[in-house]
Amino acid sequence: MAEKRRVGVAIMSDSKSAAADSDAEFVSQAGVSALLRGALLKLLESRPEDPVGFLAEHFGHLSAEADDGGAEQQSVIRALWHLSLAHHSHRSAFNSNVRVAYELLTQGVPSRLSGRLYSEMLRCLCSEGGLSGSTAAPLLRRIQSHDYEAVPFELFRQGVLTCAVFADYIRKSQCLYAAVASAPDRPAERTLCQAVLSTLREALETADGTDVARYLEASAKISPAKVAQAMAEVHPRAQRQDGPTMDAQEFEDAAAALFIARVRIVT
pLDDT for the residue numbered 110:
55
Amino acid at 111: S
pLDDT for the residue numbered 67:
56
Report yes or no: 85 and 37 within 8 Å, Cβ to Cβ.
Answer: yes
The dihedral through the CA atoms of 157, 160, 162, 164 has a sign that is negative
Q: What is the mean pLDDT of the chain?
A: 78
- CA-to-CA distance for 13 and 49, rounded, in angstroms? 43
**What's the whole-model pTM score?**
0.68
- CA-to-CA distance for 39 and 32, rounded, in angstroms? 10
Amino acid at 252: E
pLDDT for the residue numbered 96:
92
Report yes or no: 158 and 248 within 8 Å, Cβ to Cβ.
Answer: no
Taking alpha carbons only, the member of 198, 189, 193 closest to residue 245 is 189
Summarize pLDDT for 143-164 with one digit per residue, the tens: 998 888 889 999 999 999 999 9
Look at 204 and 105; give whichever has higher pLDDT: 105
- CA-to-CA distance for 18 and 11, rounded, in angstroms? 10
pLDDT for the residue numbered 9:
47
- Among 9-23, 109-123, 194-208, 216-230, which is the least confidently predicted range? 9-23
End-to-end CA distance of the chain: 77
